[in-house]
Amino acid sequence: MSTEVILQTYHLSKRYKNRWAVKDVNLYVHRGDVFGFLGPNGAGKSTLIRMLLSLITPTEGHVELFGSRLRGHRRAVLSRVGGLVERADFYLYLSAKRNLEVVASMRGGVPRHAIDEVLEIVGLTDRGGDRVKTYSHGMKQRLGIAQALLGDPEFIILDEPTTGLDPQGIKEVRELIRKLSTERGITIFLSSHLLSEIEQTATSMAVINAGTLVVQGRVEELLTSGENIVRVDARPSEIAKQVIDRQPYVLGISATNGTFTVKMPLEKAASLNAALVHAGVEVHSLVPRRSLEEYFLSITEGASDTLPGRKP
């Protein structure tokens, strides 16, 4: 991992009337990272991304890209950045190529072959001459990524690029993101409300909830830190509790509506299952959950839980 920080935010905040959409966010992204920006819907992800791309003026704080303040160095900084903010919208009455020409002109022009090249990267070469209004949602999303790639940016910001795509489309976009990172060395900022997406794609990540940054770090560290739990639904529950209590690796147990929440190392989940079955207990489900996943599910389900992790 490079130690060069290419994006840093300082106390970045945005207030709409009396509501803080983003509050005091200090974020950093290293060169070469695929940075996952995770949060439930309405957490403030898009507002923050819009501030990074100068679509919205922060109420407080500032953004630094490539070591320069965005405000005051907007042109120089944004010439090195590509972006796709939320849904990919285009001039529907123009062809994909014309749309890319419009974008290219805003970057001071790019060689003709660059437009063909980005269309090829996203697999739209054959449809480049067609009007965008004839495109499916998935094709528009891919075109959205293509426009973000124009002009060879060093840093790409993608706001929920897989939203509304079918499973095959999601898989293609994820592969494309990995390819852009590994083959082209592009640093990628990827926002999502799906932990699984970040887990499969990102190298580092941050979680935002209710406009506030909750945690930030390397994906493998965050997903293995803290106490992990196993959710067990087993009958009869009295015997199940006795069996679970007897296991030496169990650190704690609580029960809610007949389901046990067991604090224990996740690699022991299979042993616990074997012990329960051996004791004649019917195991209806046994779900290992890491602390971050548990936390994230709790905030997306609306519960007020706190993360046993760390703040940046």
Q: Name the residues that contact another protein, by CB under 8 A.
A: 50, 53-57, 74-79, 81, 83, 85-87, 89-94, 98-99, 101-103, 105-109, 147
Question: At its nearest, how many Å lie between another protein and the CB of residue 89?
Answer: 3
Question: At its nearest, how many Å lie between another protein and the CB of residue 110?
Answer: 11
Non-local (6+) Cβ contacts of 148 within 8 A are 82, 83, 84, 156, 157, 158
Q: Which is nearer to another protein, 75 or 278 (CB)?
A: 75
Question: At its nearest, how many Å lie between another protein and the CB of residue 170?
Answer: 22
Question: At its nearest, how many Å lie between another protein and the CB of residue 63?
Answer: 13
Burial level of 269, CB count in 10 A (0-12/13-18/19+)? Answer: middle
Task: State the Cα angle at 300 between 41 and 235, rounded to 5°.
Answer: 155
Judged by DSSP in three states, 98 sits in helix
Q: Which is nearer to another protein, 54 or 300 (CB)?
A: 54
Q: Which is nearer to another protein, 32 or 144 (CB)?
A: 144
Q: Which is nearer to another protein, 98 or 174 (CB)?
A: 98
C-alpha radius of gyration, the chain, whole number = 23
Question: At its nearest, how many Å lie between another protein and the CB of residue 44?
Answer: 13
Question: At its nearest, how many Å lie between another protein and the CB of residue 98?
Answer: 7
Non-local (6+) Cβ contacts of 181 within 8 A are 32, 34, 187, 188
Q: Which is nearer to another protein, 159 or 294 (CB)?
A: 159
Owner of token pair 């970045």: 12
Judged by DSSP in three states, 36 sits in strand
Q: Which is nearer to another protein, 85 or 240 (CB)?
A: 85
Q: Are 266 and 299 in contact (CB under 8 A)?
A: no
